[in-house]
Structures are given as structure tokens and as C-alpha cells.
Structure 1
Amino acid sequence: MTVMDDWVTAACAELGLDPARVSVPIVLDLAKDVAHQVLRPGAPVTAYLLGLAVGRGADLADTAARLSGLAGTWPVELDGTAPTE
């Protein structure tokens, strides 16, 4: 087991969740896409939003793919600012 596995198992136990239902790679890929294509602080917020959507019944992989797609089209300049119109 890795530290991540240990953490997810402990966090799930604390929250009464099944760690088998946690897809760490999907969440990390989404966070990477948002951090690199939108802004770094958006990564944890987006992961939270993903969790809210999944908690309401949305499919994890589909919802993460939709959000990653949105991040991929987000208009951001290299300095991290929104482009001027």
C-alpha cells in the first residue's frame, strides 16, 4: 500500500465511505487538468464540486471527463489572467 492508499482508507473510515468506490487516478487527473489549464487553486475546488455531483448520483468518470473538457477549453493567458476581449 502507498501513503495515498493509507490516507484514502483512513479518510473513508472517518467519513463512513467505502474506499473501493474512490478512484484516485480520476480525481488526480481532473485536478491536474484544472491546475494546469485554469488555475491551481481551482483544482481542490473542482474536486469538491466533483464530489458534490457524484454524491447527487452523477457518474464519476463521466463528470470528471466533462470537467476536464471544460478546463481544456478555458481561456487563460500564460500569465494566468483571462484574455482581454
Structure 2
Amino acid sequence: MTVLDDWVTAVCAELGLDPAEVSVPTVLDLARDVAHQVVRPGAPVTAYLLGVAVGRGADPAAAAARLSGLAAEWPVELGGERPDRLASGGS
């Protein structure tokens, strides 16, 4: 086991969750996509939001795939502004 495996097992025990239901690679892939394609602080926030959605019944893999797709399509910031704001005059 790795330190991450140990940590996930301990957190699951603390929260009354089944570690077998946690797809660590899915969460890590999503966090990577958001951190690299959107903004780094968005990674943990997005992981939390994924957890909220899953807690409300969303399929974890499907929701993560949708969010990764959203991150892949997210516009690159130019000079601190989103491209669509630049074209519309900044508001």
C-alpha cells in the first residue's frame, strides 16, 4: 500500500465510506485536468463539487468525464480576461 492508499482508507473509515467505492484515479485525473487547463485552485474545489454531485446520486465516472470535458474546452485567459469578454468590451 502507498501513503495515499493508507490515507484514503483512513478517511473512508472516518467518514463511514467504503474505500472500494472510491475511484482515486478518476479524482486525480479530474484534478489534474482542472489544475492544468483552468486554474490550480479549481482542482480541490472541483473535486469537492464532484463529491457533492455523487452524494446526490450522480454517477462518479460520468460526472468526472463531463467536468474533464468542460475543463478541456475552458477558454485560455488572455491578460487576465476571458476571450469572450475581450470581444464584448469587458463586461
Aligned residue for 2:62? 62
Does the alignment pair 1:53 with 2:49? Answer: no
Letter in 2 for 1:49: L
Give RMSD over aligned pairs: 1.4
Letter in 1 for 2:10: A
* Identity across matched positions, percent: 80
Aligned residue for 1:39, secondary structure, equals: coil
Going from structure 1 to structure 2, the CA distance change for 1:60 and 1:24 (only over 3 Å counts) comes to same
User: Which structure exhibits the higher relative contact order, with contacts defined as CA atoms closer than 8 Å and separated by 6 or more residues?
Assistant: 1
Ranges in structure 2 where 5+ consecutive residues have no aligned partner: none
Aligned residue for 1:22? 22
Letter in 1 for 2:53: A
Shift of 1:18: 0.5
Aligned residue for 1:6? 6
Letter in 2 for 1:64: A
Ranges in structure 1 where 5+ consecutive residues have no aligned partner: none
Going from structure 1 to structure 2, the CA distance change for 1:6 and 1:41 (only over 3 Å counts) comes to same
Distance across 2 between alignment mates of 1:70 and 1:44? 16
TM-score after normalising by structure 2: 0.87
Going from structure 1 to structure 2, the CA distance change for 1:75 and 1:19 (only over 3 Å counts) comes to same
Distance across 1 between alignment mates of 2:80 and 2:35? 11
Q: Which structure has the greater CA radius of gyration?
A: 2
Equivalent pairs, count = 85
Shift of 1:77: 2.8
Mapped contact 1:39–1:80 kept (Cα < 8 A): no
